[in-house]
A and B are shown apart, each in its own frame.
Chain A
Amino acid sequence: MKQIDPIWIERARHGDEEAFTMLVEAYQTPVFNLCYRMLGESTAAEDAAQETFWRVWQKIKSYDPQRSFSTWVLSIAAHYCIDQQRKQKITIFELDEYPDFDLGDPHMPNPEITVITNEEEETLHRMINQLNPPDRAAVILKYWYGCSEEEISQMLSLTVSAVKSRLHRARRQLAEVVTKNQSTTLQRGSSDEALSL
């Protein structure tokens, strides 16, 4: 994540709007990316990111400089997205509605795996969308932002053991989704073979 001179944060805390604009510029992509991963849709993510920065501006006087600014900003974004999803009750996709996907065996070197196509991106969203919003936020913060469990606990206002438990549950769900899809793909493959014979 892009690091910013603390002087800009200090100036923004004292009401300097130009300094705050610098902060928005520095953190727009991490915040947008978090919102996008949480909400799964570009327009909603942009609105959420805009709202996040407005909330950051409103609360910036209460920001504790001892804390990491990026962690603080991301926690505001995560809370907002969780609230939005609770309000909207975004449709949870059933496992059977999934399109087939096969991301390959991680043990096998495959350069194609690093090229994420739009279809894979959509599939990834559907996989992530299986998780409930706080679990999703924990997974995103852990695997996209490399946050520690302690940081996640601070960001989501949870205990460290609650974060561990949520991540444990989320990982099980993710693994189950992949297993289910792989078995569906295999079943379809064998029925196609039977038809061709």
Chain B
Amino acid sequence: MNSTNDEKVNLTAEYHSYMTDAITHSVMLDRDKCKGCTNCIKHCPTEAIRVRDGHARIENKRCIDCGECIRACQYKAKKAIYDRFEDFADYKYKIALPAPSLYGQFEEVNDLDAMLSALVELGFDDVFEVARAAEMVSEYTRKYLERNDSLPSPVISSACPVIVRLISIRYPLLLDNILPVMPPIEVAARVARKEALEKHPELSDEDICVLFISPCPAKASYVKNPLGVKKSAVSGVLSIGEMFFKMRAAMKTMREEKVQAQSGIIGISWAGTSGEASALFNEKYLAADGIENVIKVLDEIDNGNIRNLDFVELNACNGGCVGGVLNVENPYIAKARLQTLRRYLPVSLNRMGDQRLDSYEWDSLPEPEPVSKLSDDRHEAMRMMREIVAITHTLPGIDCGSCGAPTCRALAEDIVKGRAVADDCVFMMRDKLLKQCASLTQTEEKGETT
């Protein structure tokens, strides 16, 4: 059953072992398609990609799975890794966890029940909407903000795994600000498992597989390397793009609707920017989307420049989860469609009730990961920094990317780390060659005059 998975893992290992690291990422390179251009290195927000020997390589420990390189690659050489439904055929009981953004993908369908029933038609035994768990997390957040006066301000959403990883590698002081509750995907998986075991006492936990239908590869990485919990209750991550076509076909042939949607406006709104924040009924929030914008906001929070805010919602993708790379529809069209879909729904249909959300708080805070640190020894790090500054001054400073590093500064860092040489810079190389030519000509001229 796992043969395809193993294959994928091996591919990942092959292309991503630039730095040995325990993290398994969900973006891989198709070497045959990669032309060695520099589009992806320019778009990577953590400068994790280098082009070496004509192909892109991702530095494992720096990658935050944002998917920007997948968007940037015009040759479609960067691919998201996700699971396939067929790989889970052996499980006795299969539960689908559709992301709220899935609802916005279908042009002709305005019936949530039909979409969810299509999943059952395709072979799932049950469906648990992540939007339901999102409503529970919203309720938890409202209570969390009320009960704690001494919270580090502002509280930052924990829903987007890219953001949590970004904070752990770049903003260690803000780790305390993160809402310490599991993201809706994790809450959904746990509640769904619990409900399934209650409904079917004959099942054991190992018989159940919970598959998230995801808008982004970052969720696949989250499941492999969970944040805040030891092990994720999600068994696998399927792509919205792949399920979309199957679901559309199933809806055409389906005779009856077997599942009823159980989420309200709040849960569905989580699919787009400010959906999570506006559900707090507190206007003191900020919602930012798009990884570059998010980084600017985090820099401001880190500097203490954003005051009087209770909550900050950050989404790595433009438009929020509807902007994830595994979706089929344009994010803004999907968002508009969701506005229509949620129109006559109740505000919220899911309350914590006896689902005590305290039991869905994180086991532990994510650890800071200072991946950019040059050396554990301060003096050595300072020596390296001196060299980096000196080398950067000698480089042309136009950040052309021809050397395979995104900026001249990044090349200087690579040189000091022993991963590149000054001759990788085409301008340095040209100057060197010109000088050599000049000295050759001089020698020749001397030879002629004598």
Chains A and B bind each other: no
Chain A residues proximal to chain B, CB less than 8 Å: none
Chain B residues proximal to chain A, CB less than 8 Å: none
